Amino acid sequence: MSNDRDTCGKCGEKSIIKGDIGLRTSRDKELIMVVRQDHGVEKSVPLQTSVCCQCGFVDFYVQDPIHLKISTEDKPINPDFQQRPLLDADF
């Protein structure tokens, strides 16, 4: 997909529908999230969509992928979690 959010990743037209378009589960109206679990830490961000009004292609992305990175300040969701220590390569 192009870095231009107005351009369709399939047909290449500048025809992405404007406005807030999101994904929700049909039963509980909750947002669909991208969840990363590593080192006992859980990070999540909402999954975003873009829709082309020319060909109907739907593309998925996250608005803030940096939020999925794990830092040394993040605490495990389970206080008893034990795993190898975080290394610089994990970031």
pLDDT for 7-60, tens place per residue? 998 999 999 998 888 888 877 878 888 888 887 888 999 888 999 999 999 999
Domain boundaries, the chain: 1-68
Q: Under a CB-based contact definition with an 8 Å cutoff, are residues 33 and 47 in contact? A: yes
Closest CA to 53 of 89, 2, 3, 6: 6
70 three-state secondary structure = coil
- Is the overall model pTM greater than 0.85, yes or no? no
